[in-house]
Structure 1
């Protein structure tokens, strides 16, 4: 199934295509396995901004939606990243219900709007739900262990204990991450594998 090709050929989705994942100074890096120099390899990655779709149509009450969706092709497999970028300065500014609704908005509304593409017959290897934020204002490198200790007792810790969300039979938790995590083909640098 040519998922990425179908995204680029869909008139409505083509308007949502982006080339970076960044908002308000928070972002996700696109790894070398998905780029040719500074350019994305368009045959293996598509980045979408669901809000661009909802803001371009006449929706009375558009659903909340996470900031970006990245679809990665790795041979015959696909990985989907649903990414919310949050510039909260303190953990208490991260509203659990709001964040959860944004991920649900993509999984249950946006993907259903384009079910001929997202719910079609392709091999979804993994769904990733990333909440990228830095509510502790860390500068420079910080280990995952220190980050996990720091989020104890905050809204960010709650995401690790909530019921996983599902799409196409794959389950995933919302994973809080410090910026900028890196997306690579085949999860080469997935920080959760350490």
Structure 2
């Protein structure tokens, strides 16, 4: 059984399955190759609302651990998977996207969700992974519409700039950087692509 099938058969993961990855006014787009008549093709893609899992009353924890918004798993034509860990941040300043705080959210998923709670579905199947992407989808400096040169000048020295100097994280056997991505209202918008 492949990873995407194991996810769909797990009761706790089905409970946090969603049709889109969005939070407030921020979202990511899903490639048409992953849709069937405008709806997700669940044989090819699963979107999990990870923060819903951690805020669930069933966990019975004193303090809810920080976690990302969405985990997206895409089944590729070669039978392997592309995995996206996505934090969506609708904010008007960089204090809400500080690297240390956002990194904690990703580490909860890597250390607890992948390597502990759902180890048999994720970590034990690391050989089924083609790629892993870590995205922070945000535009706290209102940079949509700027040229690349203007964007680089505006983010220089800000909390967004810090992400580009971060040490990569080991996620399911892949070394990945947390990458700031401009939200859907911008062009090009972040897209989860078929593979």
Given the two structures, how large is their TM-score scaled by the length of structure 1? Answer: 0.88
Query: Which position in structure 1 is the counterpart of 2:27?
Result: 27
Contact kept, 8 Å, 1:91 with 1:156, in 2: the verdict is yes
Distance 1:66 1:149, change over 3 A: same
Q: Does the CA-based 8 Å contact 1:63-1:109 persist in structure 2?
A: no
SS at match of 1:64: coil
Q: Is the 8 A contact 1:66 1:84 kept in 2?
A: yes
Contact 1:26/1:86 (<8 A) preserved: yes
Aligned-residue RMSD, C-alpha: 1.6
Structure-1 residue corresponding to 2:11: 11
After superposition, the Cα gap between the structure-2 partners of 1:138 and 1:148, relative to the gap in structure 1 and judged at 3 Å, is: closer
CA–CA distance in structure 2, aligned partners of residues 91 and 18 of structure 1 = 28
Distance 1:73 1:131 in 2: 22
Give, in angstroms, the shift of residue 31 of structure 1.
1.1
Offset, 1:144: 4.7
* Gapped regions of structure 2 (runs ≥ 5): 185-189
User: Quick one: structure 1 residues 146 and 32, their matched pair in 2 at CA, closer, same or farther if it must change by over 3 Å?
Assistant: farther
Quick one: structure 1 residues 6 and 158, their matched pair in 2 at CA, closer, same or farther if it must change by over 3 Å?
A: same
CA distance in 1, matches of 2:74, 2:55: 25
Alignment of 1:94-113 (within 5 A): 94-111=97-114, 112-113=116-117
Distance 1:87 1:24 in 2: 7
Taking structure 2 as the reference length, what is the TM-score of the superposition?
A: 0.88
Structure 1 position 150, deviation (Å):
2.5
* 1:126 paired residue among 102, 125, 131: 131
Q: Cα offset for 1:38?
A: 1.3
Separation of aligned partners in 1, 2:29 and 2:97? 22
Change (3 A) 1:7 1:145: farther
Structure 1: unaligned runs, 5 residues or longer: 187-194
CA contact (8 A) 1:92 1:154 kept: no
Report the equivalent of 1:189.
Answer: none
- Is contact 2:143–2:151 with CA below 8 Å preserved after alignment? no
Aligned counterpart, 1:155: 159
Q: Do the aligned partners of residues 120 and 145 (structure 1) sit closer, same or farther apart at CA in structure 2, a change above 3 Å counting?
A: farther
